[in-house]
Structure 1
């Protein structure tokens, strides 16, 4: 049964639309359908439509578009919210140096804010997920694709969840108290969500490694950032590939000289195919095309 949508206004300029209390691909696709339908209306006065995990928010000018008119228009497209089950998107391979020295140095400075001061973030994550050791956790983390459901918090930071059955979701709580430092391009994890910290700054997610790949660059120096300074967009599918220190250093040198690029390929994602085969379909996404 479809969950009733909840609407609320935030101040004078925002309409918040909550599609579901739980986050899922079903909720994401419902939000995707509704936001596309609202965009198609081309209502004057709408500045931004921001899609999130199980909700979206519209920023509008109340002097141009009356709040009641906007609410009625959005409610009018509710029936379209179940229409889309396919998504033209892209699969992106992100190289990761797991258990790197920089996040290790950082996490050791903040053990007083952690649930287990005697363990590293990876050791803690492996233990509470019932995995044998850090290597087993890394294999589970990089062994299935991740779906980007929203981008935000800071510029370019993707939130993503792993495309596996709910009982196989890796879950790790955030730090008891946030850190005041996180290296840029850190792989983080909080609850069932993974992220990549696009810039250095505060953070509360567990830290598992770093990627050499910039995902936010106002200078747009690399080829995959030419279209936009923020790389990720909702609906992207991510494959993490574990690399060693030598490969990380080589890639970092390529970033510095401007020649680094990412392995990106287009694909048509089927929500129904995933729901029908939640193990086999993601496994196919992890394979390189022939």
Structure 2
């Protein structure tokens, strides 16, 4: 749901969190980006950083230079001036990232999980199956065809969360349960309808699709795109995945190590929300006119039902535990009263 009025919440003594709604929605992301740009262009004294995300905007400020009340008042004024989301035009870089899909390093990670935690289906096979695709090859085509919108950067340093901009290539996947203990650096994973790229080795639960050999996080700032930031990607960027072979992966890895790799970044484009929505409506009509294979749809429903069933079991256990505690309290009170009367 998009809120009628944004909510302004203090997040400690140096941060203000602005919530535009309680769902992951591109319109709210566009609004957060638009407000962040307006605030930055106003060169607000005491404002240190803006962090736009899918449904929020976090403002980092110096409380000795600007009070939160003044910051809230400014945000309300700028939002009124911002106008319709549909009229927004957002500077947006297009960045090409090579990916070795279904590579041997990803397979080793999945196999290690099967050996040490529990048996699971090979991740690309699972994602292809529940989305009604015929093969992993078709999955690779689906994942690499659209541009992916960077809606947030965080959780881990430099980790982007991406949403497909083309509904014709919609993909979804359940997360691991329980999560795996490690994920290779550079992993490209899918969880729900979102893609994430892992900047470092970390536990997680997204389905592993492949790996990119190029860094998205460089705290040493060795490569050219990192001269102004430790992070390659920022909110409002678009990513296009380029399938490569394992041999190409290792060649690019050597170029990165030698500091000779050149990122393919187009940084002069403007993203028109109005034109995108026209494209989206047309693409959505094509999706409606093209039925989803029945097996894929059934599997997707089954996966969703499984998650809901687990949640219902958890909730039921909580309720039963609460009732047991309540019954025990009543029993204890009855015993206490009995002792008092008997005494």
Which structure is larger by alpha-carbon Rg, 1 or 2?
A: 2
- Give the number of the structure whose residues are more often helix, by fraction: 2
Residue number among 80, 92, 95 corresponding to 2:95 in the alignment: 92
CA contact (8 A) 1:164 1:278 kept: yes
Q: How far apart in 2 are the matches of 1:277 and 1:19?
A: 25
| 1:217 aligned onto 2:199 | no
Other-structure match for 1:253: 254
CA contact (8 A) 1:28 1:149 kept: yes
| 1:188 aligned onto 2:189 | yes
Other-structure match for 1:34: 35
Residue number among 108, 112, 117 corresponding to 1:109 in the alignment: 112
The alignment's C-alpha RMSD in Å is 2.4
Deviation at 1:39, TM superposition (A): 2.5
Q: How far apart in 2 are the matches of 1:104 and 1:82?
A: 48
Superposed CA offset, 1:212-267 (max 9, x none): 11111122222333333211111111110111111111111111211111222232
- Structure 2 runs not aligned, ≥5 long: 284-343
Q: What does 1:1-290 align with in structure 2 at a 5 Å threshold?
A: 3-4=3-4, 5-82=6-83, 85-111=88-114, 117-165=119-167, 168-265=169-266, 266-278=268-280
CA contact (8 A) 1:216 1:229 kept: yes
CA contact (8 A) 1:30 1:82 kept: no
- TM-score, normalised by the number of residues in structure 1: 0.87
Q: Secondary structure at the match of 1:259?
A: coil
Q: How far apart in 1 are the matches of 2:163 and 2:199?
A: 17
Assess, with a 3 A threshold, how the Cα gap between structure 1 residues 141 and 119 changes in structure 2: closer, same or farther.
same
Superposed CA offset, 1:33-66 (max 9, x none): 1112222343333222111112111122334322
Q: How far apart in 1 are the matches of 2:83 and 2:181?
A: 42
- TM-score, normalised by the number of residues in structure 2: 0.75
- Structure 1 runs not aligned, ≥5 long: 282-290
Q: Secondary structure at the match of 1:136?
A: helix
Deviation at 1:168, TM superposition (A): 4.7
